[in-house]
Amino acid sequence: MKPVVVSGLKPSGELHIGNYLGMLEAAVALQTSNKYDCFYFIADYHALSQHYNPREKAEEIFTLAVDVLAAGLDPKKSAIFIQSHIPEHANLTWIFNTITSVGKLEGMIEYKEKIEEGQTPNAALFDYPVLMAADILLYKAEHVPVGEDQRQHLEFARDTARTFNKRFGKTFKEPEAILTRALRIMSLDNPQKKMSKSLPKGCLYLSDSPKSIKAKVRAAATDSFREIGYDPEERPGISNLVLIYSEFSGLAIPAIIKKFKGAGYAEFKEALAEILIQKLRPIQQKRLTLLKDRKAVMKILEDGAERAKPIAEKTLLDVKKKIGLI
């Protein structure tokens, strides 16, 4: 049997190029390698931990499914499904709650950051790491693609596996990290902040039209220098644009600096916009096709759930027996 890889994507707005170059690109590569059994889910339960509009959330869940399929997740190579369609995620979370201390949850950095950002400190936000541990361990995952900022959550899942195994007998493997590239794509209009859906003017969405891409890139912050350069500390604006160019063109940063030696910012921005339009066009064309066929997308998600459900049911049944439920 192949080792299992599990990862989730939270439906909280349209995907942007930072999302694509981070976890999503890694997920596509993992399924393409044919070394793993890949389970990728839309983490809709996680998305309920902050205030939302129910009608908008339903559409966000569907749109995220469209986006990940358009970006390259392949239902023939991966199980792609919606988290809430597998009730075992929530059931295992409750069981894990019984072996999780409040102190461990209080020590989670992301919870503190979310509260500082102004999110409501509800129980779901506090308990977020336990649900994440259940997401991973439910499928006996051996590998989880994560960025450096998610290492604490993965360690929480590993600790949960150890705690359960020690108390009830060997059940779960301790999953290992597959570190995704630590790319920091910054906001176009505020390069001091990471690209985010909360900063729409500086955010390049996968669905942006050529006209919108050109407008956003032209308006992107740079600096008072005349030469194209790369120095994230001293020149964050132009450095961010050079990094984006590198990621979408495949050219190394030094080669880009050489290519645009003597060119002005306007010329470079026009070239960057064209690269983005060209590279995003196939994704956008597939996206439009999928949006027109809701039935086909839902069938993919249903089929993915059918592949995932027997594994989830088997794991939960084993857990119930070991903890004394009948």
Q: Exactly one of 194, 259, 286, 322 is catalytic; which is it?
A: 194
201 is catalytic: no
- What is the C-alpha R_g of the chain? 21
Ramachandran area for residue 250 (φ above 0: left; ψ -120 to 50: alpha; else beta): left
Nearest to 72 by CA among 32, 14, 12: 32
Q: Exactly one of 57, 104, 173, 197 is catalytic; which is it?
A: 197
Tell me if 145 sits within 8 A of 23, measured CB to CB.
yes
Task: Catalogue the long-range contacts made by 254-260 (C-beta closer than 8 Å, 24 or more residues apart).
Answer: 256/228, 256/230, 257/228, 257/229, 257/230, 260/228
Q: Exactly one of 114, 214, 216, 269 is catalytic; which is it?
A: 114
CA–CA dist 162, 54 (Å, integer): 37
Reduced to 3 states, what is the DSSP secondary structure of residue 60?
A: helix
CA–CA dist 223, 265 (Å, integer): 9
Residue type, 174: E
Tell me if 257 sits within 8 A of 229, measured CB to CB.
yes
DSSP state of 156: H
Return the biggest CA–CA distance within the chain: 75
The strands making up 78-82's β-sheet, listed across from edge to edge, are 78-82, 37-42, 4-9, 143-146, 176-179
Strands (E), the chain: 4-9, 37-42, 78-82, 143-146, 176-179
Nearest to 153 by CA among 168, 167, 170, 135: 135
Nearest to 27 by CA among 52, 2, 3, 6: 6
295 is catalytic: no
114 is catalytic: yes
DSSP state of 185: P
Active-site residues, by number, are 114, 194, 197
